[in-house]
Homo-oligomer: A and B are copies of this chain.
Amino acid sequence: MNEDFVVSAIETNLQVAGVGRTLLDNVDVSVLRFNAGDTVHHMGDEVTNLYCLTEGWITLIRHMANGDRQLLNFHVPIDIVGFEYLGRATATSDMVAFRDTELVSIPIQQFKRTLLASPESAAAVTSLLSRKYSSLQTRLCVFANGNAVTKVIHFLHGLRSKQVRNRYDDADTLRIPLTQQDIADALGVTNVTISRAFAKLEAAGVVDFNSNRIRILDYPKMLELSSSDVAANMFPDEFD
């Protein structure tokens, strides 16, 4: 396992430099692999590990009574999933591998112990939770007030932000095995509506959809196409 990767991931997630090595001291990390479709944990389970993605794609899902599902979050390499369980260990959604995935598990109990030795890091964790909360507020505003096209733009913006963070060569090309149904489930609309939303975005020349690859052709212009009522502050430079 590449421990440097995890050390760097911790510092990227916490936005604090130089603490990753210390935080992994005396922590028994191990590598886990999941196949596409495997469930890492179910809603309601006790979560005992943080997971640092090294390869693949993870999504958080809530299942509705009628069989529909709400995809709450997508996680890519460098993401560390589970900070929200440092306080309360009960999983608030299913965590599912979206494709073959490799992740490094970090026992929460041990991690919390090393956090005690680094107040700076502990503060950063709290700060991270704040950012995640704020991001969710923003998404709530989009869901409450935006139309389908705006929701799609918000969604693409979020994925792109992570690729920018990861310093990918071409952050505008989202290399993701994502069907329109997946996007629909993330945005609370139907696949038909997603298809029509992409048709509009393609007609405007800002996006090129292609399963397995979505390409953002004109990022600034894309943002302008979001309905004006949610434009302000709806696109922070964040990725939580």
Contact = CB atoms under 8 A, between A and B. Distances in A.
B144 A87 contact: no
A62 B230 CA distance: 10
Contacts of A141: 62, 64, 70, 72
A140 B64 contact: no
Interface string A122-150: 11111111111110110111011100000
Contacts of A123: 87
B229 A126 contact: no
A4 interface: no
Interface string A144-160: 11000000000000000
A contact face: mostly helix, strand, loop, or mixed: helix
A137 B72 contact: yes
Interface residues on A, range: 35 or more
A145 B68 CA distance: 9
A84 interface: yes
Interface of A: 43, 62-66, 68, 70, 72, 84-88, 92-93, 116, 119, 122-134, 136-137, 139-141, 143-145, 187-188, 228-233
Given A64-B229, A87-B127, A88-B130, 19 more contacts: A62-B233, A64-B145, A64-B230, A65-B228, A65-B230, A65-B232, A70-B144, A72-B140, A72-B141, A84-B133, A85-B130, A86-B130, A87-B126, A87-B128, A87-B129, A88-B127, A116-B119, A126-B129, A133-B136
